[in-house]
Structure 1
Amino acid sequence: MRLVLAVPGDLSAPTGGYAYARQLLAHLPAQGVAVTHLALPGGFPDPTPDDLARTAALLGEGPADAALLVDGLAYGALPPEVIRAAGRPVAALVHHPLGYETGLPPERAAALVAGERTALALASRVVATSRYTARLLAAEFGVPSGRIAVAEPGTAPAARVAPRPGPQVRLLSVGTVSPRKGYDVLVRALATLTDLDWSLTIAGSLDRAPDCAAALRDQIAASHLRNRITLAGTVTPEALDRLSAEADLAVSASLFEGYGMALAEALARGLPLVATSGGAAAETAPAGAGLTVPPGDAAALAAALRALIADPARRAEAAAASWAAGRRLPGWPDTAAAIAAFLRTSA
């Protein structure tokens, strides 16, 4: 079977969506799928007319016998005429709906939702990266459930992080600094916990939403937490392994997740969690592996953090549950196998 995987922008970008695409390119051949990467313009989800014209041309140039799978960052923003220009069935890979990105003006969010609903009605099939997203696409975007398959991101095995009693508790939060990740809520929560001995490292790009990153720096300074919170920016996989090995508690204040790859990676290492329940995160973070709070609730987040920072025995119990859950996570070969099977049965 031949497949063209169309992804907009820089495939090496350090986000979960691009990591997913890279892993598909690496693992689909072992499933009998000859996959080719098609680079689409980088302007999505806000393409220019030139971007759309170029995309229409690119989608129509692929091998006639190859299936076409378009990453949702582009697919959700494609007008019907561009999808039809491919001249063959087009499948969509959806991590989370474009209009659900935090910080969008209401009229822009509504336009993105409407546009994605129209685009998905033309999709031959849809791959969702979580069960939550699959349900959302069926309920809110009108995609028939029979045209949706779930292929959760894989998680690579990792060395277990042994629980430590302290004295200092090292917190780690992984993800691009953007409004959706809720780092402002996390800083508000931590500002009420200065009586406890903790430090936080935020590992994630500071360049994708520079205004958000600048506001976060100002908030940290105004909260007198510069000596406790480190904005590490984008880190290499080796540096992330080191930060994870040094961490005592993984934290996510995200307002919405289509899956929550950073949460899964924390489980794979046996790190206890404090996480919000936005989107699919409530299902990715299992009961017992830590504490879950509503998204955007700084007081609840502070209470959960206090409970685990102040109680090493409770952290150790959560770490054991986290490690057990991490052993059950799918690997990338499982993800590739699910997509390959779905494409074949839907052909």
Structure 2
Amino acid sequence: MPPPPPAIRLLVPGNIRHNSGGNVYNAALAQGLEQLGAEVTIQPVAGYWPVGSKEERRRLAGLLTAGTTAGTNTVTIVDGLVASGAPDAMEEASACGRAPWVLLHMPLDEHPDLEVRALRAAAGVICTSGSAAAEITRRHGLAGVRAALPGTKKGPVAAGSEPPRLLAVAALLPNKDQLVLLEALARLRDLEWTAALVGSATADTGYARQVAAAVEQHGLGERVQLPGELTGEALEQQWHAADLSLLISRVEAFGMAVTESVARGIPVIVRAGTGAVEALGLGVEAAPGPSEGETPALPGAVVELEDSAETDPEPLANLLRSWLTDPALSAEWRRRALAGRELLPGWEATARQVLGYVGPKASPGGHSSQPPADGE
């Protein structure tokens, strides 16, 4: 008889209240683990993460050392946004024999010195994308970094709209680059389309005001909606009306909005050089991958955009113009998205993979002998 799954404490950042990809992943993972028989406790950690104050980090150390008893069948997993900037707390827990696992959604670019100490003190590191796992392995020389890609809950096939409806689901943040998207859309006013930029306007109120002002400055007030963060039926209505989704973040470890789009048969445009390309690749029909020199049949497209303060929106505008004016192209992207919808893994696969890493059969010492992650 296999050993019972461990009880799991999942420590998550208490200061991230909008509907972020990390929050969605954590909640879906917990539900998946419970369905596999694990007892899961989600514990928000108060603090201004990452890094936090000295007092917040001291409280985190107390949570890590007091929440479990060494040798028991309980595993602590800490969201990387909390752990990566608090190496002292991680090292204190490790010294007590209670080293937690780290669930890393995105590398902590601002503090690599803190991150490497925190991750070396962990029982193991699980990244939520192969690209993040490869970056952490390259950056810090850690062996045995695991990857557990997000699952997807298949949604109803989107009906689309007339004229075509563009949808960008992401908090209004500088990294998500909604201003560049609006500049590209401003170049397409001669064509018929509408758009919705769905996401929190409170995560960065200054940037959200810039986005709202840009809509008016570009004369797009009749075409572009800014409904704020939506959930439940209101969000489903936006998905159902969409014909094309966009995620052009400057940095993205994975981009769950991509797979959520494909799960509804909606093609996606993503930015080159980000983990969103990996997410889009999960919906590629052909397996194994294409021959050398062959372009994969993505359910959408990858756009090259420079990463600078003055990003040229023209490549995105040209790609959108092609999609809007070429019925054969738009039909092919739609066909690929509908095919890719059937290929996406569910959340049970994610939970099973995580449980395999942290459960009783998992090898001790997450950084000693395992080969670097390759997306597994």
Is the shorter-chain TM-score for this pair beyond 0.5, marking a shared fold?
yes
Matches within 5 A, 1:98-247: 98-99=108-109, 109=110, 112-144=111-143, 146=144, 148-162=145-159, 166=162, 168-247=163-242
Cα distance in 2 for partners of 1:6, 1:232 equals: 31
Which portions of structure 1, spanning 4 or more consecutive aligned residues, are displaced by more than 3 angstroms?
A: 10-13
> 1:104-134: CA deviations, max 9, x gaps?
xxxxx2xx12211221122221111111111
Cα distance in 2 for partners of 1:6, 1:273 equals: 32
* TM-aligned CA deviation for residue 162 of structure 1: 4.2
Match of 1:268 in 2: 263
Match of 1:49 in 2: 54
> 1:263-312: CA deviations, max 9, x gaps?
00000011122221242111212333122102445111111111111223
Which secondary structure state, in structure 2, belongs to the residue aligned with residue 98 of structure 1? coil
Which secondary structure state, in structure 1, belongs to the residue aligned with residue 151 of structure 2? coil
* TM-aligned CA deviation for residue 159 of structure 1: 1.1
Segment of structure 1 superposing worse, 290-299 or 51-60: 290-299
Match of 1:31 in 2: 36
Which secondary structure state, in structure 2, belongs to the residue aligned with residue 242 of structure 1? helix
TM-score by length of 1: 0.91
* TM-aligned CA deviation for residue 10 of structure 1: 5.7
Segment of structure 1 superposing worse, 326-335 or 280-289: 280-289
Code of the aligned partner of 1:322:
A
Match of 2:358 in 1: 343
* TM-aligned CA deviation for residue 19 of structure 1: 0.9
Code of the aligned partner of 2:47:
G
Cα distance in 1 for partners of 2:345, 2:44 equals: 27
Cα distance in 2 for partners of 1:324, 1:283 equals: 17
Cα distance in 1 for partners of 2:238, 2:305 equals: 25
Query: Does 1 or 2 have the higher relative contact order (CA < 8 Å, sep 6+)?
Result: 2
Q: Is the 8 A contact 1:180 1:255 kept in 2?
A: yes
- Residue 67 of structure 2 corresponds to residue 62 of structure 1: yes
> 1:235-272: CA deviations, max 9, x gaps?
02211111111111111221111111000000001112
Code of the aligned partner of 1:156:
K
Cα distance in 2 for partners of 1:42, 1:306 equals: 45
Instruction: Return the match for 1:3 from 5, 8, 31.
Output: 8
Match of 2:339 in 1: 324
* TM-aligned CA deviation for residue 77 of structure 1: 0.8
TM-score by length of 2: 0.84
Identity %: 33
> 1:14-55: CA deviations, max 9, x gaps?
111011111122111222322222221131114112211211
What is the Cα-based RMSD across aligned positions, in Å? Answer: 1.6
Q: Is the 8 A contact 1:9 1:39 kept in 2?
A: yes
Segment of structure 1 superposing worse, 20-29 or 286-295: 286-295
Gaps of 5+ in 1: 100-108
Code of the aligned partner of 2:335:
A
Which secondary structure state, in structure 2, belongs to the residue aligned with residue 292 of structure 1? strand
* TM-aligned CA deviation for residue 11 of structure 1: 7.4
Cα distance in 2 for partners of 1:313, 1:24 equals: 39
- Residue 85 of structure 2 corresponds to residue 77 of structure 1: yes
* TM-aligned CA deviation for residue 228 of structure 1: 1.3
Q: Is the 8 A contact 1:117 1:142 kept in 2?
A: no
In 2 relative to 1, CA 114–294 (structure 1 residues): closer, same or farther, beyond 3 Å?
Answer: farther
Q: Is the 8 A contact 1:121 1:142 kept in 2?
A: no
> 1:151-202: CA deviations, max 9, x gaps?
11111011112466x4x11100001110111111101111111111111101
Cα distance in 2 for partners of 1:288, 1:56 equals: 45
Cα distance in 1 for partners of 2:16, 2:267 equals: 31
* TM-aligned CA deviation for residue 98 of structure 1: 2.4
Q: Is the 8 A contact 1:5 1:36 kept in 2?
A: yes
Higher helix proportion (structure 1 or 2): 1
Q: Is the 8 A contact 1:181 1:252 kept in 2?
A: yes
Code of the aligned partner of 2:250:
L
Match of 2:309 in 1: none
* TM-aligned CA deviation for residue 12 of structure 1: 6.0
Gaps of 5+ in 2: 1-5, 282-296, 307-311, 365-376
In 2 relative to 1, CA 333–156 (structure 1 residues): closer, same or farther, beyond 3 Å?
Answer: same
Q: What number of residue pairs does the alignment pair up?
A: 331
Code of the aligned partner of 1:115:
L
